[in-house]
Every structure is written in structure tokens, then in C-alpha cells.
Amino acid sequence: MLFPKEDSIQIIHQALDAGINLIDTSNRYADGESERIIGQAIKNRRDDVILATKFGAESSNKLNQSGASRRWVRQAVEGSLKRLQTDYIDLYQLHQPVPETSFEETLSVLTDLVQEGKIRYIGTSNHQAWQLMEAQAVSDRHHFQRFISEQSLYSIINRSIELDITELAQRYNLALLTYGTLAGGLLTGKYRAGQAPDSHSRAARLKGSVGLALDPELPQNKLKFDTIRQLQEAANQAGITLAHMAVAFVQNHPAVTPTILGPRTPEQLSQFLDGMALRLSPDLLDAIDTIVSPGIRIDENEQIWKPEWLNPSRRRRA
């Protein structure tokens, strides 16, 4: 959902004034409108910003208007540069795996774009550890630019990247950007198991699997909301809000570089910033580990990208 342009610009300026210097978006968000708003917001403050955007998960049904091929990547970057009103992108990220296109092809054109000055660095999003290592091997073999970052979903109730991504990031000096810190609003404490969500909440507005994952009335969500209740109790005992604890938990992990936040209002941004400054005690972190074990994902619907090898044709003998 895209909010009024004026409100979005105000929040961006508030974030920059507070010392935040990374803005992340995608050519997919609101069909490019997110990039247009950001471009307008930062056009007089470009030097203050590390500007990151993505390609490769476009929703277009037009032939040759999506993916990670040499042809499309060149078209996609020109479109993003125009919408963002800038001559270069600091971090250009492959939004999700594109199995039909080899890393050789994608890294080749990205390397060309770096040499041409249109992008500074390249990264990935929603990739698995083995895919990141394959990409690094391709870069080494062909002397291509390396992906220097990975952007992954990570929250106090979705800790699956702790199984491998966080360790890989530290071992190979890969910047780890994380998103989904508040689990779509679940970790703000405003939802209660068995109670209908507020009509203005994301749970009430969103449809499909995302809306279902947020619905506190669904029986299949009982475990998740029971877990959130226990986390709320731990936060109460520590004298902090659940939202602050959730933000601080992610930021406390030594592998995490920046935590990407998506505030809807200036007040929410201020609350997020308070959480970023918080450091959790070892006792509280131990309590969290007891409620949600390291490496565990409470809700399988939170797996943003579904690997094609989980399809029946790939996991069943003919």
C-alpha cells in the first residue's frame, strides 16, 4: 500500500534529519511510484543518501519486461534512474532468485553497469545461502563484480536466516540488510488472538496469504499469537514495548548491518528510532530464545519466495 506522497516525503526528510542514510525501494513497489516519490524527496539531498533499489521481481505480464536477463536489466536500470531522478544507484539488488537466467548473464551486465557508473554496488534479496555462494564463485571465475549484500526477512518470530545466512554474512563479509522486523505489524502488540482486527489495520485491509497470516481470528494462527503473547509478557517484564524489543532484537544480531523499517507515520518512525537505540540484556535474549528457538520460523506463510524445487514435479520420481 502506498501512502499520500506528501506524507511519504515528510517521513523521508524526518529520517534523513535523524541520521538515517539508507533508503531502500524497488521498481516493483506500486508499479514504480515508490521510486518516483523517493526521487522527488531526495533530489536536493542526494549526497546524504545511500540509495538502494531492486529489479527482477517485476509484476508485468509483458514479454521481456521482467527477470534478470541482460536485455531487461539494462531497461530496468534506466527506468529506475529516471524515476529516482539520479545519475547513479548506490546499491542495485536482484529482488529474488530468477532460476531461468544464469548468474553468469546477470553478473555480466551488472558488471558493465558498474563500469559505466550507473550503479556503484550490487546485491541480492531473498536468496538462499547456496545461491549466494554460487554467485560468489561465478564472480571469482569470470572476474565479475561481487554481490556485496543480501536483504532477507528477519524478525523475532521468523529466525530462519540464523540457520545459515547470518553465519555466511559474517564469514564472507557480506552486508546483511533485514526487513519485516515487526512481522507486518504483528509485533506492535495491537492484535490479540481470537479478536477481530481493527477495520483500519493491515490484517483487515490485506487479502490473500499476507492478510491470512495477520488474521488473529484464524485457528491456524493460534500458535503464532500465543507466541506473540509470551513475547509481550517478556517485554512487559523488561519494562519496554514489544515493538521496541522486536526492533532491538534484530539490530542486536552481530551479522545485521542495517534494519529496514517501513513507518506509516512520523510517530511510528520516532518509535522505531527509539527501538534501534535499545540494547537487550543477555537475560532478556535468553528469555526470547526460550520462547522462539534460534533458527525457527513460526509461520510458514512468511516464506516470501517459494523455491521452484518444492513443486511436486521437482521432488517426486517420475
Cell numbers standing for residue 60? 508485468
- Checking 210-217 for CB contacts under 8 A at 24+ apart, the result is 210/184, 210/301, 212/301, 213/184, 213/299, 213/301, 213/302, 214/184, 214/185, 214/186, 216/191, 216/192
List the catalytic residue out of 29, 88, 121, 179: 29
Q: Tell me how far apart the alpha carbons of residues 156 and 170 are, in angstroms, rounded to a whole number.
A: 20
Helix, strand or coil for residue 109? helix
155 φ, ψ (degrees, to nearest 5): -150, 175
- CB 103, CB 72: distance < 8 Å: no
Is 29 in the active site? yes
Q: Which of 126, 166, 124, 161 is nearest to 146 (CA)?
A: 124
Residue whose C-alpha cell reads 529474488 in the numeric block: 96
Residues taking part in catalysis:
29
